[in-house]
Chain A
Amino acid sequence: MIRTLIPVSLIYGFAAALALRRFSDREAVRASINRMIAHLYEFRLFIDTPSLIFRAQMDLLRENLRLLRLILLPCAMLAVFFVALFPQLDAWYGHTPLPPGEPSVITAQFDDAVLEAPAGIAVETPPVHSVHDHEVSWRVRPLGKVSGELRLRHDGHLIVKQIVVGSGWIDGYTGRGVGIHYPRRTVFEANWMVWFFLLSGIAALVYR
């Protein structure tokens, strides 16, 4: 599953580069970057003149703000896109399916509910209420590599949520209001977002 993070990140990077091309004034962006480089050169040239260095710093800060303004629209579009994708990406890359035999906790954000688990997943506790958070939780334990549907009945409504054990794709969208506590996963000991933004940044730079 981690292997898919690479193409997903690259596609996001290409999309970012495309958005920057399409929705920003490229000439103005280039000119802004050139001015920033010029201000950086000023640091080296006028190292003995503090007043000039200070002025260069101010100019650099101003230029940064100008650049941000120039790329504001594509960045906002990308942010909306990322926020929409985030629950699913975090479910896939930030978590692992439940390990068989290990306990986990399911929490519903209601004062009370009835839980039905698929065969092969034992519900070990009665509903445990958090008066403070208006939540109810259960401890479950997968007895084998079984995935299926959790069914929660609350106030006459039925909520269905996929539960994934052993291997498979975790669904980050369905069953709103019901959380399954999947174990956290890291990619080479770092949060998946570190690699995601690193790879998409490289892709965007290559494609710009």
Chain B
Amino acid sequence: MREFVWIVLFIALTSCGSPRSRANGRQVIVIGVDGMDPGFVERHWADLPNLARIRDQGTFSRLATTMPPQSPTAWSTFITGLDPAQHGVFDFVERDSKTGQPFLSIARTMPPRFHIPVGPYDLPLSPARVVSLRKGKAFWQTLEEHGIPATIIRMPVNYPPVDSGEALSGMGVPDLQGTEGAFSYYTDDPGDVPRPVSGGTIYRANVVDGRAILRIEGPPNSLRRDRRPVSAGLTVDVDPAQPYARLKTGDSVAIVREGEWSDWIPIGFPLIAHMASVRGMVRVFAKQLHPRFEVYVSPVNVDPESPDLPISTPGSFSRDIAGRIGRFYTLGIPEDTSAMRQGVFDLSEFLSQSHLVLNDEQKLLDDSLDHFREGLLFFYFSSVDQNSHMLWGQHDDELLKSYRAVDASIGEVLSRKPKAELMVMSDHGFTSFDRAVDLNQWLKSEGLSAKARALGLNALYIDAKGGERQALIEKIRSKLLALRDPSNGRAPIEVVVENHAAFAPDLFVGYARGYRVSWQSANGDAGDSVISDNNDAWIADHCINPADVPGVLFTTRKIAPAKAHLRDLPVSLLALFGVPAEAGMTGQSIYQ
């Protein structure tokens, strides 16, 4: 009996301990800066002293990106070392090969397998699951298998996060409504017609005795058979004399001044009254309180303190971080460019929101550095990319502030982890978006719309097989390359690449600098003219010919990169720890 107790104790003690690290104290830090453009960096070396220091002491080069040069695609290649045809992520939105309907390409929510109907309810007997649609193995899974600890913060296309190391999901995390981010804007201005707009909804606010009760829309009620969306009330009491308002929902109370952002306000959405609810959080911007009532409410973010979606691994990781630094943006793309595109934000309001995101990112980085001991730390910045979309070429001074903030954070990494091997990289660069190409209108004008359709930012789908498909591909390719912009005679399309992967777009269209697909065409619709001016607040992009928008690669170690490509980086990071590349990875280590 005594021996048995000792054996049980021994097994318990040895199995409870964390696996022994084989990193031997080695630290590798990767800072991923979405959309950091090499040309912009080169024009502003004096303002970016930390990046300049890495260039001088280590290496700076351009980093070739994927076709299509879109963030979900490029980051998936960085994660897996696979080409897009292998990892299967080609865009934010792709077309279902069976139904022809668009779907979000990063993850899919699978409803519970077993449930019982009770009146209007449909009670689940098994949990709903979120599954990643990206194929391939994440390189840090390989590291963990070799005993190298990995901490991965806000990695795009890592939702739900792979069950390896410690990770916080980034791009791909939806809001509670299940969208990429849907804001709500409440106004009592009779000129503002209540309506759904791209990226949000405009509501009419009814202010009585200084009080407006705002209905915040939550997720579809997964416990009801009709999946009717749930909502929660946010009570806003506007002071009759001063430009201040008190905000109340459930147990949460906050006060905001006109022109000010609230802190995160936790908000609960009842699925069954007093029994089951979903929790999220919002930030409120009091755009105007007197004489008009104009209040913006952010998309309902997953609350990291009590996440109802799988945003971290282990599940407690987001809670632990929030316990240390407070709540933070969890939405995949947190900068609300839609609010600016819809005229809800002016430029300064957009920048103030973007600044909140950057603050959160800096707090997250600070916390990550506090806890990083050895192995791999990956950290992602989104602000440069999202700000470039709205500022590039027209507000470069403002954009430079984002670059400088990231540069300062890199300086922080250099000073706090002087022994670490540091890599700074981006998934693509940037260029202006002046003219929009409506591919679907063009297909219509060419009489090809019955057999081909554009959807997404670079993709074209062909509804034909075999020889007919091949003939169509050749025809479309040659005609697109021959297309000219009537306003200036330029060729708006530089390359058209055939994709051989199954259940995927048939062609990728690589636009010339200054051009991009039109918004209508990206949504699968057709507008009025084939090429027109881009009059949107979204003034820059990167979904063009990948050769025109390479990313950046900085390393603290001196290397001689011939032509570094994104697919080389996971192989290189494995090589830094002496771990061989996985089968299917086609890149070469930059450290050879």
A-B contact count (CB 8 A): 53
| Closest chain B residue to A184, Cβ basis | B251
B111 within 8 A of A: no
Cβ contacts A97-134/B at 8 Å (1 or 0 each): 00000110101000000000000000011111111110
Query: Which residues in B have their C-beta under 8 angstroms from that of A181?
Result: 253
Of A107, A124, A131, A184, which is within 8 A of B209 by CB?
A131
Nearest-neighbour CB distance to chain B for A132, whole angstroms, equals: 4
| Closest chain A residue to B316, Cβ basis | A189
Nearest-neighbour CB distance to chain A for B165, whole angstroms, equals: 23
Contact between A137 and B263 (Cβ–Cβ < 8 Å)? no
Nearest-neighbour CB distance to chain B for A141, whole angstroms, equals: 11
B255 within 8 A of A: yes
Of A102, A103, A128, A189, which is within 8 A of B246 by CB?
A128
Considering the complex, which residues of chain B in the window 489-531 have a beta carbon less than 8 Å from any beta carbon of chain A?
A: none
Contact between A131 and B242 (Cβ–Cβ < 8 Å)? no
Contact between A129 and B253 (Cβ–Cβ < 8 Å)? no
Q: A interface, by DSSP: helix, strand, loop or mixed?
A: loop
| Closest chain B residue to A105, Cβ basis | B253
Check A131/B255 contact, CB under 8 A, given A125-B244, A126-B242, A137-B246. Answer: no
Query: Which residues in A have their C-beta under 8 angstroms from that of B240?
Result: 129, 131
| Closest chain B residue to A140, Cβ basis | B255
A151 within 8 A of B: no
Cβ contacts B302-331/A at 8 Å (1 or 0 each): 000010000000000000000000100000
Residue from B210, B239, B246, B306 whose CB has the most chain A CB atoms within 10 Å: B246
Complex Cα–Cα for A107 and B251 (A)? 13
Of B210, B242, B251, which is within 8 A of A130 by CB?
B210
Query: Which residues in A have their C-beta under 8 angstroms from that of B253?
Result: 105, 107, 137, 181
Check A128/B210 contact, CB under 8 A, given A102-B326, A105-B253. Answer: no
B437 within 8 A of A: no
Contact between A128 and B254 (Cβ–Cβ < 8 Å)? no
Contact between B245 and A128 (Cβ–Cβ < 8 Å)? yes
Contact between B242 and A132 (Cβ–Cβ < 8 Å)? no
Complex Cα–Cα for A130 and B242 (A)? 12
Nearest-neighbour CB distance to chain A for B381, whole angstroms, equals: 24
B215 within 8 A of A: no
Query: Which residues in B have their C-beta under 8 angstroms from that of A133?
Result: 237
Contact between A125 and B255 (Cβ–Cβ < 8 Å)? yes
Q: By the criterion of a CB under 8 Å from any partner CB, how many residues of chain A are at the interface? A: 20
B211 within 8 A of A: yes
Cβ contacts B255-292/A at 8 Å (1 or 0 each): 10100000100000000000000000000000000000
Query: Which residues in B have their C-beta under 8 angstroms from that of A189?
Result: 306
Cβ contacts B217-260/A at 8 Å (1 or 0 each): 00000000000000000000101111011100001011101000
Considering the complex, which residues of chain A in the window 83-106 have a beta carbon less than 8 Å from any beta carbon of chain B?
A: 102-103, 105
| Closest chain B residue to A132, Cβ basis | B211
Complex Cα–Cα for A137 and B253 (A)? 10
Nearest-neighbour CB distance to chain A for B268, whole angstroms, equals: 11
Contact between B237 and A132 (Cβ–Cβ < 8 Å)? yes
Complex Cα–Cα for A137 and B210 (A)? 14
Complex Cα–Cα for A169 and B560 (A)? 62
Nearest-neighbour CB distance to chain A for B328, whole angstroms, equals: 14
Query: Which residues in A have their C-beta under 8 angstroms from that of B244?
Result: 125-126, 128
Cβ contacts A160-184/B at 8 Å (1 or 0 each): 0000000000000000000001001
| Closest chain B residue to A95, Cβ basis | B251
Query: Which residues in B have their C-beta under 8 angstroms from that of A128?
Result: 237, 239, 242, 244-246, 255
| Closest chain B residue to A104, Cβ basis | B253
Complex Cα–Cα for A132 and B239 (A)? 10
Known: A128-B242, A130-B211, A137-B246. 4 other contacts (CB 8 A): A107-B253, A125-B244, A126-B239, A133-B237
The 10 closest A-B CB pairs, nearest first, are A130-B237, A139-B255, A132-B211, A105-B253, A128-B244, A131-B210, A128-B239, A131-B209, A181-B253, A132-B209
A-B pairs with beta carbons under 8 Å apart, 14 shown: A107-B253, A124-B255, A125-B255, A125-B257, A126-B239, A128-B244, A130-B210, A131-B210, A131-B240, A132-B210, A132-B237, A133-B237, A137-B246, A137-B253
